[in-house]
Every structure is written in structure tokens, then in C-alpha cells.
A and B are shown apart, each in its own frame.
Chain A
Amino acid sequence: MARHLPRRWLMMLVTGLSIAQVCDAVDGAPEYRVKAAFVYKFATYIRWPVSIAAEGSAPFVIGVLGADPFGTSLSDVVRGQNVQGRVIHIRVLSRVEEALACDLVFVSSSEQRNLPQILATLRAAPVLTVGDIEQFAEQGGMVGLITTEDNHVRFDINKAAIEGAGLRASSQLLQLARVVVEARGGHR
């Protein structure tokens, strides 16, 4: 945990700034390396409807909607991996409609204002939506990434949204979620 020390010094220097901003500014790349790994791992704890999985040879497509915060870290994570035997492809999306052709979409924080529209477009489609926008899951996203005060990445899950899209989250994943949203729009 060598990275704790410089972070604390900076915290003392840059008072008044939000912790998220500090982390974003200074530890952006390492944080997104963790988040990239999380994105890939979510795919392993979620079951897509059989009809889609049955296509077999079709690649598993991960789309990044909006400004790509991962750099090479996401492609580094998925290199040589697969999801239930499907090769993983990464696409950077510019339009929300393109997301319908993906299995998993990471909604970048740059799309914060378009989020209701994006989620409305993808409603009921078998696409796992992941994002690190604040209150992502509460607003209707499926998996919302959160960075805790001690700089750990955690996540919230909107179980109703996942089930509404015909996907199924494993209990192993659910038990790790910080907040589980049971009903659409509901808060816990």
C-alpha cells in the first residue's frame, strides 16, 4: 500500500477539494486499472439469456460509451481472457444506439447528463450497464462503481434493472454489493 503515503500528503496540501477529485486527478490511471478489472469480472458473475449465449462463437462485446477513461488498462485486462468461451472485443461507442449491439456497456462519467436518456434507450435490452457516475444504480444503471473514502473500489447493484433486462447476477456478486436496489427508482 505504498500509494497511501503520497495521497495523504496531497490531501493535506489540497484542502477543500473533494476526495474523488483528488483521486481522479492524481491516481486516475491506477484507479481505472482496478475498475477495468472489475468490469471484466462483472461479466463473469452475470448470466446472459441462453439465446444470446448460445450463439457460441459470437464475441463478447464490451462497449465504452463516452470519453474512455481506461486507456490501455481495459484491453490489458481482457487480453487472452474470455467470457463463457466467448472472445472479448472492446469497442468505443459514440452513440447510445451502438450500445444495443454490446453485451456490456461502461457509461463514462462524461455522459452524466445523458444518463437518463441512455438508460431509457437500453431499458430491457440484455446489456449490462456499468458506470462510475454518482448514484448510477439508483438512477437505473445496473452496476455502479464507487470509490470509498479509504480508496477502495466498491459497487452498488440494481437487481431490478438486471432482472428486468433478462440477466441474472450471481449471489456471490450480490453479497459484495454495497447497496442493492430492489425496485426500479427505489432507494435503499
Chain B
Amino acid sequence: MPASASIGRRLGWLSIFSSATALLAASVALLFFQLQEVKSSLVLRLETVADLIAFNVASAVDFNDAEAAKTMISSLKTRPAVVSAGIIVNGRMFATYRRKDVTASELGDLRIPPTGHRFGADELTVYRPVSSEGRPLGTLFIHVDLHEYHQTWRRFALVTGLVAIPALLIALLLSQLPQRLISRPILNLASLAAAVSDRKDYSVRAPSVRSAAEIEQLIGTFNQMLTEIQGQHAEIEDARATLERRVVDRTRELESRTGQLEVQGRELAAANRELESFSYSVSHDLRAPLRAIDGFSKALLSDYRTGALDERGIHFLERVRAGTQRMSQLIDDMLHLSQVTRRALARADVDVTAVAQEVAAELAKRNPDRVVRCVIGPNLRASADSHLLTIVFENLLANAWKFTGAKPEALVEVGQTVIDGAVAFFVRDNGAGFNETYAGKLFGAFQRLHHESEFEGTGIGLATVKRIIMRHGGLVSAEGVEGLGATFYFTLGGKS
């Protein structure tokens, strides 16, 4: 049940209020008119008494018999309401009467006695002329207290109250009937609405009842609304069923696709592993014959240099040796690359600045004839595999060294920036740069953008860098302008 009062109770209070107001107004009006009536009848009765006494005392006044007059007005002692009475003759008090408990009475100016009556808060005074045969003799006054009057109006008020309260109750009982006619259907409707809301049962209908036109209309509209809701509910249920079917279908489809992908992934991984072991074994197994070729070429050169080999022969042998050395380098790099792929990643907090400085110092020692200005940002740190990060910097800085070979004032910078909200490191040089059209090819193994005669190299370095960065979950990119320099960016994934 709701916290606020029900419609029945409200209608009840409303009818109590209106009945009570009407009754109160009627009672007050009744009381008022009754009191007016009581007042005027009080005055009339007192005037009648006064007239009777005035008639009786006329002769006493006429014959100047104050004793007799006093005796006559003393007959008022049978009326306890009379406080005092008196006869005023020629501005003098001719005779007076006072109730026993009254000590003195205020009489005002006796020379011009008033006429009629005067109502005070607690007393009433009537003044009547005393005359005989049309000869005015004096004025009689009777002064009464309003004790009886007060009692009367209290009794009236009590009776009015005693009548009003049962009348109010009867009015209430009678008002229940039409009120039920209104409140009962509304209460029924309210409980029905609550039931519909609780059970979500839209098939119920409010029974039609004979009541006020608006309530009948309300019930009709409510039922109509239920019908509409029922229809919409059915539609929604239909739509939901269709949607569920569709979701199930799609899920099944996705599951089968995922399965396929997993199989493909597993196949791919297996193929990759095979390829890696293949390339490892190839590069490893290639070393033995290569060492034989190099060793025997070296033996030929040392043992047969004088006499047996002419200048041409020596030259060819040296070419063979250079070729084997290059191939050895290639094999080393490929081994390196496959190692990078196979090694387990060991992340730790790495002082990137220190790593870069170490690598740069090594490069400077190896190329004592080069003057390269190397600017490395201070306090660079990252969460990475320190061995692999060292390989990254070896490759990138070696590249930078290499491609700035033709510049008289070579500059290599290492620093930190932000790309797409992630911390990125960069290695920038003012070297040969590259054509951005071919930027995509940069990181593939054995891909070269410059001719080997310009810049030596195996074309595996950047592929290795990319592999390492990808293993860290990071990204690598490059930008460059031909002849002005290149910048390589990389992120290291993880939290840093």
C-alpha cells in the first residue's frame, strides 16, 4: 500500500471537512439567531414585569407613599436575577430595592433618566415610565444580571453541539455511499494496476462498473491501454526471440571460425618453428663448408704466394676470401635474427641512456677516423629486455653511423617523444635519408634501399630491430627525407 493516504480516506476527510464546515456555519448562525431571540424575549419579559410594577407603584408615587412603593418593588425579590430596582421621581430616588448580596448600585445621573433598555456585558437595565391617567410621575428601572442569559446560551450551545455531532456522524455515514461508488472502482483499478506491474500479466482486464462517468471512462481507457501494451509486449517478445536466434546463429558461426583460425594459427606457428629451425640449421650448417673454403683459400695464399700464383691468382683468391667473409657475416646476422626470435623475453627496468651511450662509445672506438656528434637524452628509462634493447641500439646507431659517412658534420640524436599517447624513443641522424615511398620495405630481411657499394650491410639489421620491438609488443616506424636524414621511432609496449 502506498505511504500517502488512499483516495477513500481522502474523500472521507473531504466530506468530513465540508460537512463539519456546513454544520459549524449552520450552528453558529442558529446560535446567533437564538441568542438574539433570547435577548429580545428577555428584554420583553423584563419590560412586562417593569410595566406591571410601574402600574402598581403609580398610586404610591402619586400619593407620595415611599413605604408602599418600596414594599411593591420589593416584590422583585422573588426574582433572583434582579440585582436592584428603583423609582426616580423629579431627579430623586423615590424608592429602591437591592438584592441582599448587593451593597450599592451605580445609578448615574438621575435628572434625565434614560428610556428603553441598556445591555451591558453582565447586566441588563430596563427603564419604564410611571404614570397615572396620562400624567407622568417618574421612571422605574430594573437592573438584572445576565446569569440566566449566560446559562441559557451555554445550554443552547451545548444542545447545538449535541445535535451537530450526531448530525455530522450521520452525514459521514450517508456520504460513505456515493463515496464508495467513486473510491471503490478507483481502488480496484489501483490494485489491478499494481498486479499488472508486479506479474507482468497484461491479459487481465478491469471489470466495468456503474459509477461516475469519468471513472467508467478511466476503466475503459485503462483496459484499452492494457490491450495496447499486450500487443506491444507480444511484438517485443517476437523481436527478442528473433534476435536471440540470430545471436545463437552468429555465435555458432564465430565459434567455427575461431576454431578454423586456431587451427590455422597452430599450423602457422608450427610452420614458423620449422622455418626458424631450418634457417638456424642452414646458417649453422653453412658455416662448416664456408670455414673450409676460407681456410683453404688462406692456406693457398700463404703457401703458394711466391712462384705458383701470379698476381691474377692472388687477386681471385682474395676475392674468394672476401666473399666467404661476407657470407660468414650474413650467416652470423641470420643466426642473430633467429636467436632474437627464440630467446625468452626478460623484462626489467633499463637505463636507456646508459645503453645508448655504451653502444655509441663502442662505435666511436671502432671508427676512430669518424667524427660524429652524438646527443643522447638524459634519464631515459624503459621496461625492456636489456640484452635485446642493446641489440636494437647497436643496429640503429650503427645504421646512423653508416649513413652519415658522407656528411662532414655528422649528427646522431637519441631521445624520447610521445606517439599516440605512448612513450616512444627515437634515433635521428642527418645522413643519407631515404625515399619514403619505400619506407614499408625498410624492415624486411635482406631489403636494402641503398646499393651495397654506397653503404655496406647485410640488410638484416632493421629486420632484427623490428622482430625485437614486436616481441616487446611495441611498434616501430621510420621517416626520412633523401639526403637530409632519417628518424627511427619505436615503442616498447608494456606499461612504460
The answer to whether B65 and A176 touch across the interface, beta carbons within 8 angstroms, is yes
Which of A37-45, A66-74, A160-168 lies at the binding interface?
A: A37-45
Cα–Cα, bound, A34→B132 (Å): 18
| A114 interface residue (CB < 8 Å to B) | no
Q: Provide the residues of chain A in CB contact with B58, threshold 8 Å.
A: 172
Q: Provide the residues of chain A in CB contact with B133, threshold 8 Å.
A: 44
Within B85-135, which residues are at the interface with A (CB < 8 Å)? 132-133, 135
Cα–Cα, bound, A152→B67 (Å): 11
Contact of B59 among A34, A152, A153, A175 (CB under 8 A): A175
Cα–Cα, bound, A152→B55 (Å): 22
Mask: chain A, 51-67; 1 = CB below 8 Å from B; 0 = not:
00000000000000000
Q: Provide the residues of chain A in CB contact with B64, threshold 8 Å.
A: 34, 152-153
Q: Provide the residues of chain A in CB contact with B475, threshold 8 Å.
A: none
| B62 interface residue (CB < 8 Å to A) | yes
Cα–Cα, bound, A173→B62 (Å): 10
The answer to whether A170 and B59 touch across the interface, beta carbons within 8 angstroms, is yes
| A154 interface residue (CB < 8 Å to B) | yes
Cα–Cα, bound, A172→B59 (Å): 6
Cα–Cα, bound, A2→B282 (Å): 174
The answer to whether A175 and B62 touch across the interface, beta carbons within 8 angstroms, is no
Return the chain A residue nearest B71 by Cβ. A175
Q: Provide the residues of chain B in CB contact with A152, threshold 8 Å.
A: 64-65
Cα–Cα, bound, A38→B133 (Å): 15
Size category of the B interface is 10 to 19
The answer to whether B56 and A172 touch across the interface, beta carbons within 8 angstroms, is yes
Cα–Cα, bound, A45→B60 (Å): 12
Cα–Cα, bound, A155→B63 (Å): 10
Contact of A38 among B60, B63, B132 (CB under 8 A): B63
The answer to whether B68 and A176 touch across the interface, beta carbons within 8 angstroms, is yes
The answer to whether B56 and A176 touch across the interface, beta carbons within 8 angstroms, is no
The answer to whether B59 and A154 touch across the interface, beta carbons within 8 angstroms, is no
A26 to chain B, nearest CB (A): 20
Within A64-91, which residues are at the interface with B (CB < 8 Å)? none
Q: Provide the residues of chain B in CB contact with A172, threshold 8 Å.
A: 55-56, 58-59, 132
Return the chain B residue nearest A170 by Cβ. B59
Return the chain B residue nearest A148 by Cβ. B67
B1 to chain A, nearest CB (A): 84
The answer to whether A173 and B59 touch across the interface, beta carbons within 8 angstroms, is yes
Q: Provide the residues of chain A in CB contact with B68, threshold 8 Å.
A: 175-176
Cα–Cα, bound, A182→B135 (Å): 30
The answer to whether B62 and A154 touch across the interface, beta carbons within 8 angstroms, is no
Cα–Cα, bound, A108→B233 (Å): 132
Size category of the A interface is 10 to 19
Return the chain B residue nearest A81 by Cβ. B135
Cα–Cα, bound, A170→B59 (Å): 10
Return the chain B residue nearest A172 by Cβ. B59
Within A137-172, which residues are at the interface with B (CB < 8 Å)? 152-155, 170, 172
Mask: chain A, 94-109; 1 = CB below 8 Å from B; 0 = not:
0000000000000000
Q: Provide the residues of chain B in CB contact with A176, threshold 8 Å.
A: 59-60, 63, 65, 68
Query: A154 and B65 in contact (CB under 8 A), knowing A44-B132, A44-B133, A176-B60?
Result: yes
Return the chain A residue nearest B72 by Cβ. A175
Q: Provide the residues of chain B in CB contact with A173, threshold 8 Å.
A: 59
Cα–Cα, bound, A44→B59 (Å): 10
Q: Provide the residues of chain B in CB contact with A44, threshold 8 Å.
A: 62, 132-133, 135
Q: Provide the residues of chain A in CB contact with B56, threshold 8 Å.
A: 172, 175
Mask: chain B, 48-64; 1 = CB below 8 Å from A; 0 = not:
00000001101110111
Cα–Cα, bound, A170→B65 (Å): 16
Return the chain A residue nearest B59 by Cβ. A172
Cα–Cα, bound, A176→B64 (Å): 10
Within B266-308, which residues are at the interface with A (CB < 8 Å)? none
A47 to chain B, nearest CB (A): 12
Cα–Cα, bound, A94→B290 (Å): 209
Q: Provide the residues of chain A in CB contact with B65, threshold 8 Å.
A: 152, 154, 176
Return the chain A residue nearest B66 by Cβ. A152
Cα–Cα, bound, A170→B55 (Å): 11
Within B24-82, which residues are at the interface with A (CB < 8 Å)? 55-56, 58-60, 62-65, 68, 72
Cα–Cα, bound, A38→B60 (Å): 12
Return the chain B residue nearest A173 by Cβ. B59
- Most chain B C-beta atoms within 10 Å of own C-beta, residue among A38, A153, A170, A176: A176
Return the chain B residue nearest A44 by Cβ. B133
Mask: chain A, 5-21; 1 = CB below 8 Å from B; 0 = not:
00000000000000000
Return the chain A residue nearest B57 by Cβ. A172
Mask: chain B, 322-358; 1 = CB below 8 Å from A; 0 = not:
0000000000000000000000000000000000000
Cα–Cα, bound, A52→B60 (Å): 28
Cα–Cα, bound, A173→B133 (Å): 13
A38 to chain B, nearest CB (A): 7
A154 to chain B, nearest CB (A): 7
- Most chain A C-beta atoms within 10 Å of own C-beta, residue among B55, B60, B62: B62
Cα–Cα, bound, A154→B67 (Å): 11
Cα–Cα, bound, A34→B65 (Å): 12
Q: Provide the residues of chain A in CB contact with B135, threshold 8 Å.
A: 44
Cα–Cα, bound, A135→B72 (Å): 27
B133 to chain A, nearest CB (A): 5
A180 to chain B, nearest CB (A): 13
Cα–Cα, bound, A154→B65 (Å): 8
B162 to chain A, nearest CB (A): 47
Cα–Cα, bound, A152→B68 (Å): 12
Within A114-131, which residues are at the interface with B (CB < 8 Å)? none
Can you give 28 contacting A-B residue pairs, CB < 8 Å? A34-B64, A38-B63, A41-B62, A41-B63, A44-B62, A44-B132, A44-B133, A44-B135, A45-B59, A152-B64, A152-B65, A153-B64, A154-B65, A170-B59, A172-B55, A172-B56, A172-B58, A172-B59, A172-B132, A173-B59, A175-B56, A175-B59, A175-B68, A175-B72, A176-B59, A176-B60, A176-B63, A176-B68
- 15 other A-B residue contacts (CB within 8 Å) besides A155-B63, A176-B63, A176-B68: A44-B62, A44-B132, A44-B133, A45-B59, A152-B64, A170-B59, A172-B55, A172-B59, A173-B59, A175-B56, A175-B59, A175-B68, A176-B59, A176-B60, A176-B65
When A and B form their complex, which 3 residue pairs have the shortest distance between CB atoms, in order from nearest? Answer: A172-B59, A44-B133, A176-B59
